[in-house]
Amino acid sequence: MTDVVIRALDASDADLFDTLPDPLGAREGHRLTRHRPDWKRVALRDGRVVARGAWWGGPDDTEPVNLNWFDVAEGEEEAGAALLRSAPGRWNWN
């Protein structure tokens, strides 16, 4: 198995977040939620998204106030843990 790569997203690649399958329909529940691209992270293995997280904050917040979305592909729990350790702002659990 290849190493996992954790990436913060930006406006140019924010759609990468939506490439992980969504079997539970979470995307619909977040349809109206706006996440800042730079507060989104993905974990990639072999170029495929295996975990993702999105932190949320209000328009005037300088750092996120909560973890609003987090999911992990089956068998990729370690990638999910690595993604959480890369969290923005005070959410960084290193």
Global pTM value: 0.84
Question: pLDDT by residue (tens digit) across 6-52?
Answer: 999 988 988 898 898 876 666 665 566 677 888 899 999 999 999 99
pLDDT the model gives residue 87: 87
Q: Which of 19, 20, 6 is nearest to 85 (CA)?
A: 6
pLDDT the model gives residue 93: 57
Domains of the chain: 5-91 (3.40.630.30)
DSSP 69-84: EEEE-TT-HHHHHHHH
Question: pLDDT by residue (tens digit) across 42-78?
Answer: 999 999 999 999 998 888 998 898 888 899 999 999 9
Q: Residues 47, 52, 56, 61: what is their CA dihedral angle, to the nearest 10 degrees?
A: -40
